[in-house]
Chains A and B, each alone.
Chain A
């Protein structure tokens, strides 16, 4: 057995064991923390499977944003969680366990029966790549070959923000957490946020030729937004500024598609000589909007001001 196969097997067993622990940990806090670990381990799995784009996104989303959202919700649901949270008893159900085991067996058999010589769409992508305006195949698929999907996906993100905001009854996106941040957090924010913005811009630019692009950059910008908001930095964007940031990606796609249609082409049928520039324009708008969406999803969850201040520093 080669070292590579041994590593893959070890990682596979670890992933399953960690997922098991997430679902069977007695306390919810432990479950959330182990789930964040699972996100980091998944990033290694993506790297092993030659998917560096996904590894970058997973490291920021799976280990970062999802973890922050879960921890924040856990604290809102069980204030003072960690040691004295109520332990939810879980009643084992034999029927469910047997059904899940049978399904797993059937799925594994089906997986092993998949033909091994199907080429997929790689050859088509290789053929069309020179005309796509970029040299990175995943970016070419996202922003050129399947741009319709990506455009509508930005629409899904907009709807998610609207849905989260429609749950709240409070200040929306323009409030700040009361109390302000301590000196260490402020220092960290001042150090980290400019670096995160720089790395995000670099990843955005890199997307045309290497692993990177709007999604990775957007998720990083979103994390920077969450940090800024948690540290109580002002000014918070006004309502119209939020709307502009959130809609920019969808609108840039739509605007460029509209101009192309007015010029007698199909929606998103870029002229090959302009494709690189158009893709960079759309990606920039998309990165800003994805970042704003991620930050808005976090901020929008704080639907009452009372929930924000746990230290009781400011209740007025």
Chain B
């Protein structure tokens, strides 16, 4: 499978106190472990099982995912703009691989 490619959409700037929308997506098959391959054997489960978002190191949102989440998992959530900083996103895959992306937000 191609290397998962994370994408995020974070507003570059926001007014203090406003609630902004953060949208994330990672290209990933989210293999459920219930599907059979051409050889008739089950394809082992391989999903993104955890997603986290931190603002300057402080956790702001986390999602624990199960195989019932669609391929190319899309997650969006709000953030109340209080301070400027860097939002770091992490997608944890079964087997321990972690995919990362970060974005800056300027709060005025």
| B and A form one assembly | no
Give the interface of B toward A (CB within 8 A): none
Residues of A within 8 A of B (CB): none
